Amino acid sequence: MLGLNTPVGNAAAGDFGLGALPGRESEFQQALDQAVSYGHAIDATAVHCMSGLVTADTASAAERTFVANLKLAADKAAQAGMTVLIEPINHRDKPGYFLHTIEQAASIIDQVGRRNVKIMFDCYHTQIMQGDLTRRLKDYLDLIGHVQIAAVPIRAEPDEGEIDYRDICRTLDRLGYEGWIGAEYKPRGRTVDGLGWLSTFTQDQTSSNARGAVA
């Protein structure tokens, strides 16, 4: 088990994270404490702090709230030997999600000023929002704590669509990335039936330094 998300809040009311929601700081801290406690118990090394949904007129306040919450989150996670991850999520799948670009995530991390806050670089979300994956992987490598893959545009197994993930893996090798690659996708059928893509990657990445994890 590599990591886990903070609870989203009240899903029935439309919550999708609490980290950047002004006025709900205490709820976020409760969610964080739960996630760190669970993560520590199962030896997970990371907790993903979900920012939540905001409106354009609250974006500035949301940023200030997220930065303040992440400072506390990073300090609590550090005590448990864990990294805090933040993940830009695309606005097609989740309209209004506060954190939605890699550059925004890098700016947030700079403001937080904690070494254990990193980007969860989800290639699926980033391709939809911004593209130019190879350059962004290179430019922000030092800030990346985890990489995730899925086919674009259908978010199925990473063996179809507009991204050649074998090339992405070769790029990560060249850059010296030594972290995990999580396969976060929605199987086309049964999960086991769709794992054939792994053998293709194994044949192509015999000298790979990057480690793979199916999620």
Determine whether 184 is an active site residue: yes
Give the domain CATH number at 83: 3.20.20.150
Per-residue pLDDT of the chain (215 residues; tens, 9 = 90+): 999 999 999 999 999 999 999 999 999 999 999 999 999 999 999 999 999 999 999 999 999 999 999 999 999 999 999 999 999 999 999 999 999 999 999 999 999 999 999 999 999 999 999 999 999 999 999 999 999 999 999 999 999 999 999 999 999 999 999 999 999 999 999 999 899 988 877 766 554 455 555 44
Q: State how far the alpha carbon of 69 is from the alpha carbons of 26, 90, 149, in Å.
A: 10, 22, 27
Determine whether 87 is an active site residue: yes
Range of the domain at 100: 3-214
pTM across the whole model: 0.92
Q: Which among 27, 63, 87, 160 is annotated as catalytic?
A: 87
Contacts of 20 (CB under 8 A, 6+ apart): 51, 52, 54, 62, 63, 65, 66, 69, 98, 99
Number of structural domains the chain divides into: 1
DSSP code of residue 147:
E
Secondary structure (DSSP) of 87-139: ----TTTSTTBS---HHHHHHHHHHHT-TTEEEEEEHHHHHHHT--HHHHHHH
Q: State how far the alpha carbon of 179 is from the alpha carbons of 5, 35, 45, in Å.
A: 18, 21, 12
